[in-house]
Structure 1
Amino acid sequence: MVWRIARAGVRALTASAIVVYACAAVAAQSGAREPEAALLARTAQLMHAGRLDAARDAAQQAVAAYPDSARAHDQLGFVLGLQGATDEAIAEFRRAIALQPALADAQYHLGATLWWTKQFDAARAPLERAVALRPAHAESRYYRGLVRKQLGDLPGAVGDLRAAVRADPGLAAAHMQLGVALQEYGDIDGAIAALETAVQLDPSRADAGNSLGLALINKGEAERAVATLRRVVEQHPEFGSARLNLGTALLQNGDLDGAVREYRDLTQREPKNAEAFYDLGLALKQ
């Protein structure tokens, strides 16, 4: 159910999350007239099918027919967010909250979208409310943890991210961010454990593998770091940060020639990467 906003806007969340949202919407409307419940369910089904334009039309119909429905405004905001119209989505979430402040979904959606649009101070209040309404909701804890980390509250971030992985042990992103936060906090063993879990849950996550490799370098486990980072580079040859860290791990492991090869490769791939040229120069002096 985590919002995945990337590149131009919001990346579509998982199909299972949309089904859950549909069930929640219908259940919440069990005492209401059928047309509203039907519109909410139809919107969710269209989202599930990837028909976002049609889903937006259905959501707009629901809002037009039921302007005082917080659920309808929240769902319209959700569709708009999936289409990358984040400003409009934020406005709809705020309308939903004005109508029903205790609607946890709207508080969470608003906070997450504000985080993705880098409005970190503004994201704090709705995420605080979302967590207060649903303390065991993994995604609300996850995003509040990210906001706290961004605003300099590292202990609070670690606490929220720990709560997120307890609530949903399969949430790879939360394990990864917990690992990054723990490394900043000085708990290198805890960081490695969290990052290893993230990689196990989602081996394709280049950021988790890169962060794990860096944590292993910082602990002095060069051989493991080389193996971890080599896998990342093989799967994602365009990931410059991982290639740079692989060079560092190879140096730490005593493989000067291997490190030089990685740095040279990176300078060819990214001729404007000053750090790659700097590290290559240092390696060549050894």
Structure 2
Amino acid sequence: MQSHSAPSADSKAASAARKPRDANALLQAALLQEQYHDTAGAARTYRRVLELDPRNKVAWYNLGVLAQRAGRTADARAAYDKALKLDPKYASALFNEAVLLKSSDTDRAITLLRRAIAAAPGASTAHLQLGQILAKKDRDHEATAEFRRAVAGDPSLYSAVPEPFRDDVSPSPTSSQAGASR
């Protein structure tokens, strides 16, 4: 029988250096699994990423996305919360958690959307979602301002603006429309 000695400091350092690289490779593999609709495989791979790198906010976020798509809102929120503990300004996690809470905890959803907008001011869909929540709370002036920001950033969102607000937030005409006559 051959005995094995304890790993040397050099081999420990090499192993530690491999972990982030291995976690990144697994993360890429999980994204491919998702692309090919292997959500169960992707979830397993994201968990393996987290075994190597428990502070990987992208893996936590993507586990949340998979759970949200599967209708497991508690699991999705838990995963988003873990991503946000690692990066409190992670706009995608803030946005997705707000969408989860949109109908059940509007005040928390508003707070999360405002944080998402602060982290990514050009996030037009966050402005749209915030406007929709504010409109339901009869905070029309604030809702109008959010709808304006949403449509200014992405004119294609105009159709998602509730009808009563459309006249106040119409997209600016394009240069070809501006000088056109009928």
TM range (shorter): 0.7 to 0.9
Q: 1:75 to 1:216 in 2, by over 3 A?
A: same
Moved over 4 A (4+): none
1:198 corresponds in structure 2 to 150
Of 27, 43, 56, the match for 1:74: 27
- What SS class does the counterpart of residue 118 from structure 1 fall into? coil
2:111 to 148, 159, 165: 159
TM-score between the two structures when normalised by the length of structure 1? 0.49
Report how many aligned residue pairs link the two structures.
Answer: 156
Contact 1:191/1:215 (8 A) holds in 2: no
Deviation digits for residues 157-208 of structure 1 (CA, Å, limit 9, x no counterpart): 1100010011001111211111112222332221121121111111123xxx
* The one of 89, 106, 109 aligned to 1:136: 89
Match in the other structure for 1:32: 17
Q: Read off the aligned partner of 1:200 and give its amino acid letter.
A: A
Question: Residue 142 and residue 96 in structure 1: after superposition, are their counterparts in 2 closer, same or farther (change >3 A)?
Answer: same
* Partner AA of 1:156 in structure 2: R
**2:63 aligned with 1:110, yes or no?**
yes
Asked if 2 retains the 8 angstrom alpha-carbon contact of 1:180 and 1:211, the reply is: no
Work out whether 1:120 is the aligned partner of 2:69: no
1:141–1:210 CA distance, 2 compared to 1 (3 A): same
Instruction: Report the aligned-residue RMSD.
Output: 2.6
**Deviation of residue 228 (structure 1)?**
4.2
Judge conservation of contact 1:165–1:171 (CA < 8 Å) in 2.
yes
8 Å CA contact retained: 1:192, 1:215: no
Partners of 1:81 and 1:215 lie apart in 2 by 39
d(CA) in 2 for partners of 1:102, 1:215? 45
Q: Residue 88 in 1 paired to residue 37 in 2?
A: no
Contact 1:195 1:211 in 2 (8 A): no
Question: Where do 1:32-51 residues align within 5 Å?
Answer: 32=17, 37=21
The answer to whether the aligner puts 1:172 opposite 2:124 as a matched pair is yes
User: 2: CA distance between counterparts of 1:85 and 1:169?
Assistant: 33
Question: Does structure 1 residue 97 correspond to structure 2 residue 43?
Answer: no
CA distance in 2, matches of 1:157, 1:213: 19
Residue matched to 1:64: none
* Greater RCO, CA 8 A, separation 6+: 2
CA shift digits 1:22-50 (9 cap, x unpaired): xxxxxxxxx836xx95xxxxxxxxxxxxx
Give distance in 2, aligned partners of 1:89 and 1:101.
16
Q: Which runs of 5+ in 1 are unaligned?
A: 1-30, 38-68, 218-223, 232-286
The residue identity in structure 1 corresponding to 2:17 is: A
Query: Is the contact between residue 188 and residue 215 of structure 1 (CA under 8 Å) also seen in structure 2?
Result: no
Equivalent residue number for residue 98 of structure 2 = 145
